[in-house]
Structure 1
Amino acid sequence: MYDSTVLADLGEQLERASEYELYEQAFEDAGIAPADIDSWEAFQEVPFTEPGDLKADFDEHGPEGSLYTPGAMISFSPLGDDLAPMFDTEADLEYEAEVNASVLAEAGIAEGDRVANTFGYQLFGTGYLLHRGLEALGAEVLPLGPGDSEQAADTIEQFDVDALVGNPSFALKIAEAGATVDTFVGAGEPFTSVPGYREEVKSALGADTAVDYFGSRQVLPIASETAEEDGLHVTDEYAIVEIVDPDTGDPLGVGERGEVVVTHRRKEGFPLVRYRTGDLAELERRGDDLVLPNGVIGRTDDRLKVKGVKLYPEAVPTVLAGFDGLTGEYAIRVTRPDATDHLDVRCEGEADADALAAALSERLLISPDEVTVVSELEATGVLDERY
């Protein structure tokens, strides 16, 4: 999957991670020595880091956890019902700025462009990290944050802003208030995985380009589109990405749908090794690039097997969002009449049932036996009545 240069960097990163109690114990329990990781197959024997592992570590070594690294910035990320601290050294911040500068340049933002940044700067620090990347690129940044959409729109128009970065839903509010830009970079919520959403945002903003950017606060960025709008290219100078079976943890091949697992290739503060994100995607190779062609299409948290195919209910909302007349509420019912699984999907609102069935079949990789559109659902969620 990755070449010898990446493996060499991974070896150094694992050595660095093993200095922290969380990984020292995990590697010891698994009989893993970082110096022995000399192949991609050997790396995939390294134990996963689960969100629950981080939660337990924070509980035992709170409030910083055993991955605490003295450095330049402490920000936070949601972890269950709590907020967990993230640590960045000055070297981390400089490298993240360098990586983000490259990614944002590929997305179509140029040196000298005026860019409105509507990500939050407080607590989570996402806006700050992207701000530093834009500065490293040579852009002129307006740190607007996720506040008043009308004020943001007025500022964008008054100062002839070239590009906007932020949540797609907030970008639409800014567009409704009258702002236009040439380039939009969207992140923080489902974007290009929602059919028609890119086109809606581009049209509203009058933009020539609208690209998707994927990352978590722990690993930012993981992947981003180029100005060609051609799928999320893995940022492999910063993040190593795998796709695994959510049930078994086994690695999946190119084109197979599974859970996104990420490892920092180079990180001093709060390094993550084989971290299970819970995000659902597919991976393909295009020349030297690894690409998530359909973006992030759901979550792996709730899943069931129907007719031998893994069904991820969290992938349904991105399909429903592509139909203007639907409310987004849905119900899935799985039964087994005559020893054969039967999949029934009911959606609330107004839409063509045949078009909806085709869209669901493409996204879920399984054709529902019945798709019904109703004005109001009596109950929502997933009901498995086979057992």
Structure 2
Amino acid sequence: MDDEETLAAVNEQLERVGDYELYDDLGPVDSWEAFRELPFLTGKDLKADYDDHAPEGSLYDGAAMMCFTPLGDDLAPVFDTTADLEWQAEANARAFERAGIEAGDRVLNTFGYHTFGTGIIVQRGLEALGAEVIPAGPGESEQAAATVSEFDVDALVGNPSFALKVGDAGASVDTFVGAGEPFTSIPGMREQVKDALGADTAVDYFGTRQILPVAAETENEDGLYLLDDYALVEVVDPDTGELLPFGERGELVVTHLKKEGCPLVRYRTGDLAEWEQRDGEIVLPDGVIGRTDGRLKVKGVKLYPESLGTVLAGFDGLTGEFRLEVSRPESTDQIRLVVEGDADIDELAAAVKDRLLVAPNEVELVDDIDETGVVDERY
């Protein structure tokens, strides 16, 4: 969609949400500048709304399906109308088609069907594409592998970690679509999944239960392209809320363009990503690479410690446990990273620099780490 079409879709959505108490009549906007003056919506805002209008929240106005999503320490309801389910199915059908799944393909769906409802949302998208779906859910990997072999399954969709188990149990498919946990943001994970499944293609897919889908890779495996007629994405500075230019990384903010039940406008996801523009399309080249929680400013650079998890997961000999120490012994910030396990220290330091955008002054490997997390000794 071009800017004019997208702004028109934004105004249609603002009209849909106009009667909801949570939004207090946001009204139409006549420019992107005006749109970015609209307030952000946070998880804390949603939690307060559910508490004040228990149990459904003020965004409830009847639905065709109710599911749940984690929100803080609780589960919060998510509502979809009949129109929502149709819009989601259309968007997901396009995402799966671009990923390489074709009408007539037989697909094993290992996303969960209970509580969160991801499995049924994905199934509707596959059905809209014309694929044949086996609703397996995240059950026994050996049983899933047997089903793949016996019924000549073409594609597998689900969590990458479960796909590895299914592949190790002997399954082979042409195409894998992974979501629900870090995937291509972990160095080497795509290759591991492809090797395990004997797959020609393994692509990443991103969405939250409230906004599903947001972006997905094509069969070219070159980053996640936004589903820009279904959801509008911004990448903002998590401290100032200012829109960041392409090439920068920051917090993903997402707005529904087509949603009646639980519509979200300028919702701060807390997810960390970089964005870029290619031939008029917006891409998240590395998908979601971490969270913006606990960010620090070190050596003039915003540093996101939680993004280290996807880096460490790419090294087989590491446990994933780490301690990041920041100090200022004189006038310059110093970064020391202590990691549990074994790895090539030069390769690890290079990978950490690539992800954090700042080089650690020291990387130490230990057999057993006594304290994990972030230690900021500068103040």
Query: Is the TM-score greater than 0.5?
Result: yes
TM-score (norm 1): 0.97
Is 1:154 aligned with 2:127? no
Is 1:179 aligned with 2:171? yes
Are the counterparts in 2 of residues 333 and 343 from structure 1 also a CA contact under 8 Å? yes
The one of 2, 10, 27 aligned to 1:34: 27
Are the counterparts in 2 of residues 224 and 233 from structure 1 also a CA contact under 8 Å? yes
Partner of 1:46: 38
For residues 75 and 10 of structure 1, the distance between their equivalents in structure 2, rounded to whole angstroms, comes to 25
SS in 2 for 1:22: coil
State the 1:69 CA deviation: 2.4
Alpha-carbon displacement from aligned partner over 1:227-256 (angstroms, at most 9, x marks no partner): 000100011011100000111111111011
User: Structure 2 counterpart of 1:230, which letter?
Assistant: D
For residues 342 and 2 of structure 1, the distance between their equivalents in structure 2, rounded to whole angstroms, comes to 45
Are the counterparts in 2 of residues 69 and 88 from structure 1 also a CA contact under 8 Å? no
State the 1:205 CA deviation: 0.2
For residues 107 and 19 of structure 1, the distance between their equivalents in structure 2, rounded to whole angstroms, comes to 37
Residue-pair matches, total: 379
State the 1:91 CA deviation: 0.7
Partner of 2:156: 164
For residues 283 and 71 of structure 2, the distance between their equivalents in structure 1, rounded to whole angstroms, comes to 27
Partner of 2:326: 334
Is 1:16 aligned with 2:16? yes
Alpha-carbon displacement from aligned partner over 1:107-137 (angstroms, at most 9, x marks no partner): 0000000000000111111000000000111
Return 5+ residue gaps in structure 1 as ranges: 28-32
User: Structure 1 counterpart of 2:154, which letter?
Assistant: D
TM-score (norm 2): 0.99
SS in 2 for 1:263: strand
For residues 302 and 9 of structure 2, the distance between their equivalents in structure 1, rounded to whole angstroms, comes to 34
State the 1:2 CA deviation: 5.5
State the 1:288 CA deviation: 2.0
Partner of 2:199: 207
Is 1:71 aligned with 2:43? no
Q: How many percent of aligned residue pairs carry the same amino acid?
A: 67
State the 1:38 CA deviation: 1.0
For residues 352 and 374 of structure 1, the distance between their equivalents in structure 2, rounded to whole angstroms, comes to 13
State the 1:16 CA deviation: 1.3
User: Structure 2 counterpart of 1:246, which letter?
Assistant: P
What is the 5 A alignment of 1:337-352? 337-352=329-344
SS in 1 for 2:124: helix
Partner of 1:115: 107
Higher deviation after alignment, 312-321 or 1-10: 1-10
Partner of 1:233: 225
For residues 322 and 61 of structure 1, the distance between their equivalents in structure 2, rounded to whole angstroms, comes to 43
SS in 2 for 1:337: coil
For residues 321 and 143 of structure 1, the distance between their equivalents in structure 2, rounded to whole angstroms, comes to 29
State the 1:373 CA deviation: 1.2
Is 1:309 aligned with 2:301? yes
Partner of 2:3: 3
User: Structure 1 counterpart of 2:248, which letter?
Assistant: E
Partner of 1:30: none
Partner of 1:85: 77
RMSD: 1.0
The one of 92, 111, 130 aligned to 1:138: 130
User: Structure 2 counterpart of 1:17, which letter?
Assistant: V
Partner of 1:222: 214
Partner of 1:363: 355
SS in 1 for 2:330: helix
User: Structure 1 counterpart of 2:99, which letter?
Assistant: A
